[in-house]
Amino acid sequence: MAEDSLEERRQKGRDVIARIRRQVGALPAERVEALRIADPETLESLQSVRRMLSQSMKGVITDLYSTDTRFIYELIQNAEDNSYDRITSQGQRPFLKFSLYPDRLVMDTNEDGFSEKDVEAICDANGSTKTQHQGYIGEKGIGFKSVFRVAKKVHIQSEPYSFSFAYSRDSPDDNDGLGMITPIQEEYYQLPPNVQTRFTFTLIAQSDFSKRVDDLNDIPDSLLLFLIKLRKLRLEIHHPSGNVSEVVYSYRRDNNRNLDVIVREELSNGKLESQQERTGDSSKGLLKHFGTQY
Protein backbone atom coordinates (compact mmCIF):
# COMPACT_ATOMS: atom_id res chain seq x y z
CA MET A 1 0.00 0.00 0.00
CA ALA A 2 1.43 3.34 -1.07
CA GLU A 3 2.21 5.92 1.59
CA ASP A 4 0.12 9.07 1.75
CA SER A 5 1.50 12.07 -0.09
CA LEU A 6 2.65 15.13 1.86
CA GLU A 7 -0.56 16.97 1.01
CA GLU A 8 -2.68 14.00 2.11
CA ARG A 9 -0.83 13.89 5.44
CA ARG A 10 -1.25 17.62 5.87
CA GLN A 11 -4.97 17.36 5.18
CA LYS A 12 -5.24 14.77 7.93
CA GLY A 13 -3.36 17.19 10.18
CA ARG A 14 -5.79 19.98 9.32
CA ASP A 15 -8.67 17.62 10.08
CA VAL A 16 -7.24 16.98 13.56
CA ILE A 17 -7.01 20.72 14.26
CA ALA A 18 -10.58 21.25 13.00
CA ARG A 19 -11.84 18.44 15.24
CA ILE A 20 -10.15 19.87 18.32
CA ARG A 21 -11.59 23.30 17.56
CA ARG A 22 -15.07 21.79 17.43
CA GLN A 23 -14.47 19.97 20.70
CA VAL A 24 -13.63 23.21 22.48
CA GLY A 25 -16.64 24.94 20.92
CA ALA A 26 -14.67 27.32 18.71
CA LEU A 27 -16.64 28.42 15.65
CA PRO A 28 -16.23 31.22 13.10
CA ALA A 29 -18.40 34.28 13.76
CA GLU A 30 -20.60 33.54 10.74
CA ARG A 31 -21.28 30.01 12.00
CA VAL A 32 -22.18 31.35 15.43
CA GLU A 33 -24.64 33.80 13.89
CA ALA A 34 -26.15 31.09 11.69
CA LEU A 35 -26.67 28.83 14.71
CA ARG A 36 -28.16 31.71 16.67
CA ILE A 37 -30.88 31.91 14.04
CA ALA A 38 -31.31 28.28 12.98
CA ASP A 39 -30.34 26.22 16.04
CA PRO A 40 -30.07 28.25 19.25
CA GLU A 41 -30.06 25.11 21.43
CA THR A 42 -26.90 23.79 19.78
CA LEU A 43 -25.30 27.21 20.13
CA GLU A 44 -26.11 27.25 23.83
CA SER A 45 -24.51 23.80 24.21
CA LEU A 46 -21.33 25.04 22.56
CA GLN A 47 -21.27 28.16 24.70
CA SER A 48 -21.72 25.96 27.76
CA VAL A 49 -18.62 23.97 26.75
CA ARG A 50 -16.66 27.22 26.43
CA ARG A 51 -17.83 28.36 29.87
CA MET A 52 -16.72 25.08 31.48
CA LEU A 53 -13.35 25.26 29.77
CA SER A 54 -13.04 28.84 30.92
CA GLN A 55 -13.40 27.69 34.52
CA SER A 56 -10.62 25.15 33.96
CA MET A 57 -8.34 27.86 32.62
CA LYS A 58 -8.79 30.19 35.60
CA GLY A 59 -6.27 28.23 37.66
CA VAL A 60 -3.81 28.22 34.77
CA ILE A 61 -4.06 32.00 34.42
CA THR A 62 -3.58 32.47 38.17
CA ASP A 63 -0.45 30.30 38.14
CA LEU A 64 0.79 31.94 34.96
CA TYR A 65 1.13 35.34 36.60
CA SER A 66 1.76 34.38 40.22
CA THR A 67 4.67 31.94 39.90
CA ASP A 68 8.23 32.60 38.82
CA THR A 69 8.18 30.04 36.04
CA ARG A 70 11.30 30.05 33.89
CA PHE A 71 9.78 29.31 30.52
CA ILE A 72 13.12 28.61 28.83
CA TYR A 73 13.65 25.65 31.15
CA GLU A 74 10.17 24.34 30.35
CA LEU A 75 11.05 24.41 26.66
CA ILE A 76 14.37 22.66 27.24
CA GLN A 77 12.66 20.02 29.37
CA ASN A 78 10.06 19.44 26.65
CA ALA A 79 12.83 19.00 24.09
CA GLU A 80 14.66 16.59 26.38
CA ASP A 81 11.49 14.54 26.85
CA ASN A 82 10.93 14.17 23.10
CA SER A 83 11.82 11.11 21.04
CA TYR A 84 14.76 11.20 18.61
CA ASP A 85 14.64 7.67 17.23
CA ARG A 86 14.61 8.78 13.59
CA ILE A 87 17.78 10.83 13.65
CA THR A 88 19.73 8.67 16.12
CA SER A 89 19.12 5.68 13.83
CA GLN A 90 20.89 7.74 11.15
CA GLY A 91 23.86 8.43 13.40
CA GLN A 92 22.90 12.06 14.06
CA ARG A 93 22.79 13.84 17.42
CA PRO A 94 19.65 15.36 18.98
CA PHE A 95 19.90 19.14 19.08
CA LEU A 96 17.98 22.17 20.29
CA LYS A 97 18.40 25.63 18.82
CA PHE A 98 17.04 28.96 20.07
CA SER A 99 17.10 31.95 17.69
CA LEU A 100 16.14 35.23 19.32
CA TYR A 101 15.00 38.21 17.22
CA PRO A 102 13.69 41.57 18.49
CA ASP A 103 10.08 40.47 17.88
CA ARG A 104 10.19 36.68 18.24
CA LEU A 105 11.93 33.62 19.63
CA VAL A 106 12.29 30.57 17.37
CA MET A 107 12.98 27.10 18.75
CA ASP A 108 14.09 24.31 16.40
CA THR A 109 14.63 20.61 17.13
CA ASN A 110 15.26 17.45 15.14
CA GLU A 111 12.92 15.35 17.26
CA ASP A 112 10.63 12.74 15.69
CA GLY A 113 7.73 15.20 15.44
CA PHE A 114 4.25 15.67 16.84
CA SER A 115 1.77 12.82 16.88
CA GLU A 116 -1.99 13.29 17.03
CA LYS A 117 -1.88 12.55 20.76
CA ASP A 118 0.78 15.23 21.24
CA VAL A 119 -1.44 17.80 19.52
CA GLU A 120 -4.38 16.78 21.69
CA ALA A 121 -2.25 17.02 24.84
CA ILE A 122 -0.94 20.51 24.12
CA CYS A 123 -4.54 21.64 23.45
CA ASP A 124 -5.73 20.18 26.76
CA ALA A 125 -6.68 22.64 29.50
CA ASN A 126 -5.10 20.26 32.02
CA GLY A 127 -2.09 19.30 29.91
CA SER A 128 1.06 21.21 30.75
CA THR A 129 3.61 19.94 28.25
CA LYS A 130 3.99 17.81 25.16
CA THR A 131 4.64 14.93 27.53
CA GLN A 132 3.61 14.64 31.13
CA HIS A 133 7.06 13.88 32.56
CA GLN A 134 8.55 15.96 35.34
CA GLY A 135 12.27 15.90 34.68
CA TYR A 136 15.45 17.45 35.96
CA ILE A 137 14.79 21.06 35.09
CA GLY A 138 11.08 21.43 34.32
CA GLU A 139 9.02 23.75 36.48
CA LYS A 140 6.03 22.26 38.25
CA GLY A 141 2.58 23.61 37.47
CA ILE A 142 1.64 25.31 34.24
CA GLY A 143 4.35 23.81 32.06
CA PHE A 144 4.29 24.73 28.39
CA LYS A 145 1.69 27.46 28.90
CA SER A 146 4.32 29.41 30.81
CA VAL A 147 5.48 30.74 27.42
CA PHE A 148 2.48 33.07 27.47
CA ARG A 149 4.26 35.08 30.15
CA VAL A 150 6.41 36.46 27.34
CA ALA A 151 4.60 35.54 24.09
CA LYS A 152 1.23 36.54 22.69
CA LYS A 153 1.25 33.93 19.93
CA VAL A 154 2.84 30.51 19.55
CA HIS A 155 3.09 28.89 16.12
CA ILE A 156 3.96 25.18 16.04
CA GLN A 157 4.98 23.45 12.82
CA SER A 158 5.72 19.74 12.98
CA GLU A 159 4.67 17.71 9.96
CA PRO A 160 1.88 17.16 9.23
CA TYR A 161 0.69 19.89 11.62
CA SER A 162 0.92 23.67 11.47
CA PHE A 163 -1.14 25.53 14.05
CA SER A 164 -0.95 28.32 16.58
CA PHE A 165 -2.33 29.59 19.87
CA ALA A 166 -2.96 33.26 20.57
CA TYR A 167 -3.47 34.74 24.02
CA SER A 168 -2.93 38.14 25.58
CA ARG A 169 -3.79 38.90 29.17
CA ASP A 170 -4.81 42.46 28.29
CA SER A 171 -6.99 41.50 25.33
CA PRO A 172 -10.74 42.01 25.88
CA ASP A 173 -11.35 39.19 23.39
CA ASP A 174 -9.64 36.50 25.46
CA ASN A 175 -9.62 37.37 29.14
CA ASP A 176 -10.67 33.77 29.92
CA GLY A 177 -7.50 32.21 28.51
CA LEU A 178 -9.22 29.94 25.99
CA GLY A 179 -6.81 31.10 23.31
CA MET A 180 -4.14 29.00 25.04
CA ILE A 181 -6.03 25.78 24.20
CA THR A 182 -7.86 26.70 20.99
CA PRO A 183 -5.65 25.81 18.00
CA ILE A 184 -5.69 27.97 14.87
CA GLN A 185 -4.75 26.40 11.54
CA GLU A 186 -1.66 28.04 10.00
CA GLU A 187 0.11 27.97 6.66
CA TYR A 188 3.05 25.61 6.20
CA TYR A 189 6.52 27.10 5.81
CA GLN A 190 9.70 25.54 4.49
CA LEU A 191 11.83 24.36 7.41
CA PRO A 192 15.58 23.66 7.26
CA PRO A 193 16.29 20.05 6.22
CA ASN A 194 17.50 19.03 9.68
CA VAL A 195 14.55 20.60 11.56
CA GLN A 196 11.46 18.50 12.21
CA THR A 197 9.67 20.74 14.71
CA ARG A 198 9.69 24.53 14.97
CA PHE A 199 8.07 26.74 17.61
CA THR A 200 7.82 30.46 16.84
CA PHE A 201 6.96 32.65 19.82
CA THR A 202 5.78 36.16 18.94
CA LEU A 203 6.95 38.30 21.85
CA ILE A 204 4.51 40.49 23.75
CA ALA A 205 6.85 43.48 23.75
CA GLN A 206 9.97 44.17 21.70
CA SER A 207 11.12 46.35 24.58
CA ASP A 208 11.70 43.12 26.54
CA PHE A 209 14.39 41.98 24.09
CA SER A 210 17.18 42.49 26.63
CA LYS A 211 15.29 40.35 29.16
CA ARG A 212 15.00 37.54 26.64
CA VAL A 213 18.73 37.83 25.95
CA ASP A 214 19.28 37.38 29.69
CA ASP A 215 17.02 34.31 29.66
CA LEU A 216 19.30 32.66 27.12
CA ASN A 217 22.53 33.84 28.72
CA ASP A 218 21.40 32.48 32.08
CA ILE A 219 21.36 28.90 30.77
CA PRO A 220 24.21 27.23 32.69
CA ASP A 221 27.27 26.03 30.79
CA SER A 222 26.96 22.61 32.40
CA LEU A 223 23.37 21.95 31.30
CA LEU A 224 24.17 19.29 28.69
CA LEU A 225 25.94 17.20 31.32
CA PHE A 226 22.62 16.61 33.02
CA LEU A 227 20.54 15.86 29.95
CA ILE A 228 20.31 12.35 28.54
CA LYS A 229 19.11 12.91 24.98
CA LEU A 230 20.10 16.39 23.87
CA ARG A 231 23.71 16.55 22.74
CA LYS A 232 23.89 19.97 21.14
CA LEU A 233 22.48 23.33 22.20
CA ARG A 234 22.74 26.42 20.00
CA LEU A 235 21.84 29.92 21.22
CA GLU A 236 21.61 32.50 18.44
CA ILE A 237 20.85 36.18 19.12
CA HIS A 238 19.94 38.53 16.27
CA HIS A 239 20.54 41.99 17.71
CA PRO A 240 18.58 45.06 16.51
CA SER A 241 21.87 46.39 15.12
CA GLY A 242 22.00 43.50 12.66
CA ASN A 243 24.84 41.69 14.42
CA VAL A 244 24.42 38.02 15.24
CA SER A 245 26.06 36.43 18.28
CA GLU A 246 26.03 32.69 18.91
CA VAL A 247 27.01 30.27 21.63
CA VAL A 248 27.11 26.57 20.76
CA TYR A 249 27.45 23.78 23.32
CA SER A 250 28.31 20.25 22.17
CA TYR A 251 28.58 17.14 24.33
CA ARG A 252 30.85 14.15 23.84
CA ARG A 253 32.07 11.33 26.03
CA ASP A 254 35.84 10.87 26.39
CA ASN A 255 36.11 7.18 27.23
CA ASN A 256 39.91 7.29 27.42
CA ARG A 257 39.74 9.74 30.32
CA ASN A 258 36.35 8.52 31.55
CA LEU A 259 35.04 12.07 31.44
CA ASP A 260 32.14 14.00 29.99
CA VAL A 261 33.27 16.85 27.75
CA ILE A 262 31.37 20.00 26.83
CA VAL A 263 32.79 22.15 24.04
CA ARG A 264 31.69 25.79 24.10
CA GLU A 265 32.03 27.87 20.94
CA GLU A 266 31.37 31.58 20.63
CA LEU A 267 30.69 33.07 17.21
CA SER A 268 30.11 36.61 15.99
CA ASN A 269 28.40 37.10 12.63
CA GLY A 270 29.25 33.52 11.73
CA LYS A 271 32.94 33.83 12.62
CA LEU A 272 34.37 31.62 15.35
CA GLU A 273 35.72 33.85 18.13
CA SER A 274 36.64 31.27 20.76
CA GLN A 275 36.40 27.57 21.54
CA GLN A 276 36.74 26.17 25.03
CA GLU A 277 36.45 22.75 26.59
CA ARG A 278 34.95 21.79 29.90
CA THR A 279 35.21 18.38 31.51
CA GLY A 280 33.27 16.77 34.30
CA ASP A 281 31.62 13.66 35.60
CA SER A 282 27.85 14.03 35.45
CA SER A 283 27.34 10.86 37.50
CA LYS A 284 29.16 12.50 40.42
CA GLY A 285 28.05 16.06 39.79
CA LEU A 286 31.68 17.13 39.36
CA LEU A 287 32.41 19.93 36.90
CA LYS A 288 35.52 21.84 35.97
CA HIS A 289 35.61 25.35 34.59
CA PHE A 290 36.14 25.91 30.91
CA GLY A 291 39.85 25.94 30.46
CA THR A 292 41.37 24.83 27.18
CA GLN A 293 41.00 27.61 24.63
CA TYR A 294 41.70 27.27 20.93
Query: Beta 151-158 vs 292-293: how paired, if at all?
Result: unpaired
User: Which domains, from first to last, does the chain contain?
Assistant: 6-279 (3.30.565.10)
Q: Name every residue whose Cβ is closer than 8 Å to that of residue 4 and which is 6 or more positions away in sequence.
A: 12
DSSP secondary structure of 102-151: SSEEEEEE-S----HHHHHHHT-TT--SSS----SSPPSSSGGGGGGGTE
Q: Name every residue whose Cβ is closer than 8 Å to that of residue 94 and which is 6 or more positions away in sequence.
A: 82, 84, 87, 88, 109, 110, 111, 229, 230, 231, 232
Distance in angstroms (rounded) separating the CA atoms of residues 28 and 34: 10
Q: Name every residue whose Cβ is closer than 8 Å to that of residue 164 and which is 6 or more positions away in sequence.
A: 153, 154, 155, 156, 183, 184, 186
In terms of C-beta density within 10 A (0-12 exposed, 13-18 middle, 19 or more buried), how is residue 294 classed? exposed
pLDDT tens for the chain, 294 residues long, are 667 899 999 999 999 999 999 888 787 778 878 888 888 888 888 888 788 787 778 777 777 777 656 789 889 998 999 999 999 999 999 999 999 999 999 999 999 999 999 999 999 876 544 444 444 344 334 678 888 889 999 999 999 999 999 987 776 665 578 888 899 999 999 999 999 999 999 999 888 899 999 999 999 888 888 899 999 999 999 999 999 999 999 998 888 888 889 999 999 999 999 999 888 765 544 444 444 333
Q: Give the dihedral sign, CA 265/266/270/273.
A: negative
The DSSP symbol for 173 reads T
Do 73 and 138 meet the contact criterion of CB atoms below 8 Å apart? yes
Q: Among candidates 163, 167, 164, which has minimal Cα distance to 152?
A: 167
Q: Among candidates 82, 145, 134, which has minimal Cα distance to 108?
A: 82
Q: Name every residue whose Cβ is closer than 8 Å to that of residue 229 and which is 6 or more positions away in sequence.
A: 80, 82, 84, 94
Q: What is the structure's pLDDT at 287? A: 43
Do 169 and 153 meet the contact criterion of CB atoms below 8 Å apart? no
State residue 236 phi and psi, 5-degree precision: -120, 125
What residues pair up with 145 in beta bridges, in sequence order?
none
Angle between helices 29-38 and 40-66 (to 10 degrees): 140
